A and B are shown apart, each in its own frame.
Chain A
Amino acid sequence: MIQMTHVFKTYPSHISALSDINLEVSAGEFIFITGPSGSGKTTLLHILFCAEKPTSGEVIVNGIHITQKGLKRIYQLRRKMGIVFQDFKLLQDRTVGENIAFALEVTGHVRKEVKKKVSEILGRVGLQERKEDSVLSLSAGEKQRVAIARALVNDPPLLLADEPTGNLDDPITLEVMEIFKDLHHRGTTIVFATQDIDLIQRYPYRVVYLLNGRKVNGSA
């Protein structure tokens, strides 16, 4: 699903964010990317969804060479992945249902289909009753569930999560993790960036440890 070969990322101020990263993620795999703040976790995810270009190296995601030029390739790639952020990135002036529908609308789904898919996905994340509520009225855990629902509504084979539990307390974190676990069982490939070592230890998934932009020896 993901293949990163000798990937470097250096910012114009000569700060090295990633250095010689080689990583392979198989289809259906769940992988944790961890490391302290500034270790390069977010940069790595940004490269995977083309928010940043690597300085050098090759990256193939879902069969698409993202290091090659072409705008079309970028939005086609993004349509085949879901992305979940720590700050949720929900539209504050819309309802729960509208936020999820947005992901379908921007990819050209017809209204009838949007309605059906939104109801289905809300059922999966346990928010069916809150469809018409403003996102402003939700708790942090509920907001993250909406964000996950929005990322999943297009049935992407790959889900990238950047510190999705960073703003949540323990019981809510576990609730959200249950959703990720369920997705994994359904066959979705998940790349999960987190600093939470306790969380990582609770699950039997592969862990890649980054330090100063490098993969630490011994991590998978």
Chain B
Amino acid sequence: MGTITASKRQLAWVFDLNKCIGCQTCSVACKMLWTQDEGTEHQWWMTVNTQPGQGTPKGWETMGGGYKDGKQTPGKLPTPEEFGGGWDYNYQEVLRGGKGRDVHLEKTAGSKTWGMNWDEDEGAGEFPNSYYFYLPRLCNHCTQPGCVEACPNDALYKDPENGLVLRNEDLCKGAQMCARACPYKKIYFNPARKVSQQCIGCFPRIEQGVAPACVRQCPGRAAWIGFLDDAHGPVAKLVNQWKVALPLHPEFETKPNVYYIPPLSPAPLNADGSWNENGDRIPASYLESLFGQPVHGAVDTLKTEMAKRRSGQPSELMDLLVMYKWEEALGHLRRDPAEIVWS
């Protein structure tokens, strides 16, 4: 059984769900950088899913894993069918087979019935009060990582310098105990290398002072990276000072280090078409199911600070969230990767 050795410092991500537009630039940036090789075709270390939704893999929130009252709870292994994959159409038959007038385009046999972003923009709620928002997810590089403790080969560890959860791929034997233990189901199996793999936090970039691809490439200025103990950095300010950035599913007890600014939503419409000024279109109970009780305080703080700014008063929190200077998102990792000669 693996041993969790606490790291000296902890890198953390913050995503502002009010600013994420679901463009998947982070997903593709990560894909281009890390999972283009043989055996990684199906792996999406970074995903953005529409909430409410079943996400990636399908129904991951109910697959178990993590801890319960401090004791590890084994979850289920997410199958390739639950991760889903690509599909193809009968182009050949329709476009080149001379049957274009009789046969319509349809998915070919063997096409998956789920995929990385299958339930995009479906959301929930009844018109005109339907709602959704986007949830970018990557390995949470947890402080209490169930995967590290579950590994019978001690292949996983927390990097002592930055707290990233990394894998010794020479020790991994594909026992899948990590994939079972991870409650966020962010661990993939590489069938060509026979080892499991997950987000490595772009550690080779971080070692060179470059921010992870998902953060650096975000066009919506919705992502931050930084050390949690860097009191002057935006991450620590949002998480510790303002307490508006919250971990996802804290009840899994793995102490994740990816934090989210909860989404605000417009007032719902009453049946007569008037605004219900006291309500939120995204039910507070749904946000609580994702982020726990503290989400209510975080939403209140956001609303208060937003109102202050609207009335012309200064608000450090709103300035932080607006992110006037893009480099602020990158914390101490501002180096341009283009200037590095990789050897």
- Whether chains A and B associate is no
Please give the residue numbers on chain A whose beta carbons come within 8 Å of chain B beta carbons, in ascending order: none
Please give the residue numbers on chain B whose beta carbons come within 8 Å of chain A beta carbons, in ascending order: none
